[in-house]
């Protein structure tokens, strides 16, 4: 079971991995606000550490970012009196 696509993982720099969508290693770490769309509403999460694919501009969320976003979304839902 040796994969031929293994080489994309060996060239990571500064802890940033490869883009899961296009496989580019041109990924930069940023800390910026992220706007999530949840149903019909948009939730803004300030200063979320994540990675951005420099080739396509895709946002890549790791475990840490996902947990933070989850917490924000769940928190907003609890307080939202719809």
Q: Is 20 in the site for Zn ion (CB under 5 A)?
A: no
Q: What angle do CA 24, 32, 56 make, to 5 degrees?
A: 25
CB-wise, 56 or 77, nearer to Zn ion?
Answer: 56
Q: Is 19 in the site for Zn ion (CB under 5 A)?
A: yes
Which segments of 1-82 are extended strands (E)?
27-38, 41-53, 59-60
Phi, psi of 28 (to 5 degrees): -115, 145
Q: Is 27 in the site for Zn ion (CB under 5 A)?
A: no
Report 42-81 residues binding Zn ion (CB under 5 A). Answer: 53, 56, 58
Interface contacts to Zn ion, rule CB under 5 A? 19, 21-22, 24, 53, 56, 58
């Amino acid at each position: 079971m040796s994969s031929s696509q293994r080489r994309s993982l060996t060239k990571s720099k500064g802890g940033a991995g490869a883009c899961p969508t296009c496989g580019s290693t041109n990924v930069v770490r940023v800390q910026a606000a992220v706007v999530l769309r949840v149903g019909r509403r948009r939730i803004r999460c300030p200063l979320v550490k994540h990675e951005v694919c420099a080739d396509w501009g895709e946002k890549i969320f790791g475990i840490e970012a996902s947990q933070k976003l989850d917490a924000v979304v769940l928190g907003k839902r609890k307080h939202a009196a719809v």
